[in-house]
Amino acid sequence: MSLGLGPSIDYEIVNQPNVVDLLVSFCYASLYTRASSTDGGIREFPTGLGLQVPKIRKPDSRTPESNLYVDSQKHRYVTKKHAVVLVDPLEVDFDWDNSTAKIVSNPNEVDLEEGQWIVVSTTVLNKSPNPFPPEQTILHHARVVSNISNSLHLNVVSRHTIPTFSEWFNVDVSTVREWVGKKSIPGYIVTYDDDLDDLRDEYQKAFSMMIILASLPSVAKMRTYLMSNQLQQLALAKWNKMSRASVNLLRWIISSNRSYIVQVSEEQTDARRREKIYGVDGWLQFRFAQGSPEKEGLFRQALEPIKKRQKTLLAWHGSGLDNWHSIIRQGLDFSRTLHGRAHGNGIYFSRTFDYSVGYSNYQGTVNTAQIWPHSSLRIQAAISLNELVNSPKDFVSAEPYFVVQECHWTQCKYLFVKSMGESKPGPDKNITTVTPKVVNTDGVPEFVQDPDWVTTGTHGSMLFVPKYAFPSAGDGRDDAVGSRKNELGESEIISSDEDEEDVKFLYPQKALRQAIQTYETDFRPGTLDLSTLPQLAPPSYATEISQKALGQEIRKLQKIQSTTSPHLLGWYINFEEIRNMFQWIVELHSFEQTLPLALDMKKAGLTSIVLEIRFLRGFPMSPPFVRVIRPRFLPFIQGGGGHVTAGGALCMELLTNSGWSPANSMESVLLQVRMAISSVDPQPARLEGTTYTQRDYSIGEAVEAYRRAAANHGWELPADLLDASLNA
C-alpha cells in the first residue's frame, strides 16, 4: 500500500498502522526542531486548509507581543502563567474527575457555545518525593457539552503535557493526576479558533501543530475504533475522541506524503518476507520509493549507458529524524548544509552502515522530547538504503564517501528505523521489533553487488539483498542468470568481465523473456475513439485562477508523459485532443498481469480503463470529479472491488472535501486512483463481464453513487458538485 496513494486515511490506518505511526512521528520530530530553532525541521506547512488551532503560543523572545494575536484589534489580553502564552483566556475552576469547569473570570467576554472545541490549561505543583520539575502543566482538549450559567460540562477527549524542548521535563499525565487529589484546581480555557495560516511566525505554527499532534490518540487506538464495528463503516471524522483539527492535520500528513512506503513483514508466511534484507539486525524495515514517474524515468535514462554487469550501487544515507518528513515528500537533495561539504556539493552516501548511522544522530540514546508522545514505534533513528547509478567516476567524490550531485542518479529503496518500542506495553500493541535469528533465503534471488564497491550492514556484516527490490539493476538476465553450475555442481559467479552483450548471447531466451516481461505492454496510445465519449463545452464558471492552475497541471503532465515509458506510467492522456481543459479523458493501462482485473480485461479484449475527470467551479480549492466511463465493473455487493462504486464514481476520501487539499497535484491524483483500482483490499476489482459490450456509465448514475458513498463514510461533498452533472 502506498501512503497518500490510497482510498482514505481510515483504510491506511487499518492496513498499515506502523507506516501511519512513522509518518506522524517524522512530522512531530520536524515540528520539534522548527519550533525550537531558527532553522531546520519542517519546510512546508499545511496552507489553505482552514486548520483551526488553540490560542496557545510558545514563550519565545523572538516573538513580539503584536505577533501573539491573529487580530491585534480584537485580542488584547494574554496570560503567561502556565509555561505557555494563553490568548484570550477564561479563568476557571476545573474538576478533573467530573470534567466540569466553573468560569471565574472572562475579561475578553469570550462566548462558549455547545459543541465548541476548547483547551483547558492546568498547572499542578509537584507533590512527589522527587521535586523536579517543581510543577507540570497539562492541556485538556475538550468539546463543550453544555454551558449553563457559566458552568461548563465538558467531553474531555485527550490530556497531555505541554510539548517541551527538554526530555527532563516529560512527566506522565497519570503521575500528575495523582498530585491533584480530589479537589478542583484553578485553570484557564482558550478556544480552538485561530487559523494556522494567520500565525505570523513559523516556529509558532510548528508549536501549534505539535499541540494538536500531542492530542491525537495512538494509531493502535484509532485502528481499534475503526475495526470495532466494520458493518457501520466507522470513520475518524465521526469519532468523538478526536477534534476536527486533529483529523484534518492527520489527513494532511498522510495525503501529502509522496512516497511509497510499506513495512517488510517479519512473518514467515507473509509474501513480503522475501523482500527482507539481512545484515541489519534490530532495525525495522520499510520498502521505500519516491512516487514520481518523472524521476523514475530520469533514473532509468541514466542507467542506459552503463555497460557494467551491476548497473547500480547500494549506499546508505543517514539523517536526523527531523529531516525525514521533508525527505519522503521531496526526496534527497543538498539544499541545506547540516554537516559541512568537505568533499564537495552533493548528496552524501556511505557504503558503511555504522558510519552513516552516525549522521542520524543515533548514539544509542535519543532526546525523547522529539518523539511523538503516543507513538508505538518511538523512533530513535532512521537511515535509508539507496540505489545509485554505477558511475563513481562521474560522482563529485567516490572516496571515502559517495558524493552525488545529480539528484536523479539516486533512489531511496529501503528505510530502516530503530524503534524503542512502546514505553508501556498495552493491549493495543501492534509492532514487532525483534529480528529473527534464523536466516532463510531459500528461493530468494540475490542482488549481487559490484565487488569493487560493496556496501555492508551493521558492524561490518555482509548484506543479503533480495533482487526483487531492485528491478532497476536488471541487466537483461533473469534470476538464474547470475550464476552457473560448474562441473562439480557448485555455483559459479559470472565474472565481471562478461558484459551485458555476452550474457544476452549466452542466454538469449532468458534475456528475451525478461525484456518482454519488463518493457512491453499491449496498450497503444492514441487508439481510443474519442467521438464515442462525452464532449463538453468550456464551462461558464471558468476563472483565471482555475485556468492558470489547470494549465500548469497540463504542462507538468505532458512533460512526465513524454519522458516516461507507457508501461511504467500506467496512464495516458491525449493532450492534442483536449478541447476543454475542464474535462479530461484518461486511460489507465498496463496493470499488474496477475491482478484479477487485468485477467478480466485480457479476456474481454480491453487494454485500458477509460476515465473522465471534470474540474468543478471551486478547483483547485475543491476536488475534481473522477469517474469510470467504460468498461462497467462488478458492484461491490456482487463481489467486486477496486473502490469503484456501482455508478462508476471512485469511492475515495481524497476526492471529497474531507480528504482534498489544494496542494494535491493531478499527477498524485492519477497515481492514487490507479492504486485504488488496483487494490485487492478488501476484494479486487472485477469487470461486470468478460464478453465486452459497450454500455457506458452515465454521469447521472456516477454522481448519485458518489453521493451515496460519501454519505456512508461521512465524507463532505463539494458544494459545487452540481457542476459535474451539467451538460452530461
Alpha helices for 274-344 (secondary structure H): 293-303, 321-330
Instruction: Provide the strand spans (E) within 622-685.
Output: 625-630
Residue 108 three-state SS: coil
User: What are the contacts of 332-336 at 24+ separation with CB within 8 A?
Assistant: 332/384, 332/386, 332/407, 332/410, 332/412, 333/407, 334/405, 336/39, 336/40
N-terminal to C-terminal alpha carbon distance within the chain? 35
CB 346 within 8 A of CB 336: no
- Asked if residue 246 lies in contact with residue 374, where contact means CB atoms within 8 angstroms, the answer is no
| CATH for 530-725, options being 3.50.50.60, 3.40.50.720, 3.10.110.10, 3.40.1710.10 | 3.10.110.10
Entry field: residues in the chain: 728
Q: Looking at residue 482, what is its pLDDT?
A: 35
Count of alpha carbons within 13 Å of 451, Cβ hemisphere only?
A: 6
Cβ neighbours, 10 Å, residue 300: 17
Q: In what order do the strands lie in the sheet with 85-87?
A: 56-57, 85-87, 78-79
Q: Give dist(CA 423, CA 271) in Å, integer.
A: 30
Burial class (CB in 10 A: 0-12, 13-18, 19+), 173: middle
Let me know: does 396 contact 346? Beta carbons within 8 Å: yes
Quick one: which of 193, 288, 258, 203 has its CA closest to 663? 258
Taking only Cα atoms into account, the Rg of the chain, rounded to an integer number of angstroms, comes to 28
Give the integer Cα–Cα distance in Å for 154 and 240.
12
**CA 350, CA 506: separation in Å to the nearest integer?**
35
For residue 631, cis peptide bond before it (omega within 30 degrees of 0): yes
Residues sharing a CB contact under 8 Å with residue 20, sequence separation 6 or more, in sequence order: 3, 9, 12, 13, 219, 254
Peptide bond into 445 cis (omega under 30): no
Strand partners, 649: 627
Structural domain spans, the chain: 1-54+192-475, 55-191, 485-520, 530-725
What are the average pLDDT values for consecutive 10-residue runs of the chain, which has 728 residues?
Answer: 51 89 96 85 82 88 64 51 80 94 91 94 82 82 95 94 65 74 87 89 92 95 85 74 90 81 70 81 87 70 90 94 88 59 82 91 74 93 94 93 90 92 41 43 82 94 86 45 32 32 34 40 87 86 80 89 84 90 94 90 93 91 93 89 91 90 87 88 86 82 92 87 60
412 is catalytic: no
Name the DSSP class of 332: S
Residue 681 in contact with residue 579, Cβ under 8 Å?
no
> Taking Cα atoms as reference points, which of 137, 121, 124 lies closest to residue 78?
121
Structure-block grid coordinates of residue 416: 530502516
694-699: long-range pairs with CB below 8 Å, 24+:
694/532, 694/630, 695/630, 695/632, 696/629, 696/630, 696/632, 697/627, 697/628, 697/629, 697/630, 697/632, 697/647, 697/648, 698/647, 698/728, 699/534, 699/612, 699/627, 699/724, 699/725, 699/728
Choosing from 27, 407, 412, 651, which is the catalytic residue? 651
**Which of 249, 391, 407 shows the shortest CA–CA distance to 327?**
407
Residue 178, classified by CB atoms within 10 Å of its CB into exposed (0-12), middle (13-18) or buried (19+), is exposed
Decide: pTM greater than 0.75: no
* List of residues 6+ apart from 304 with CB closer than 8 A: none
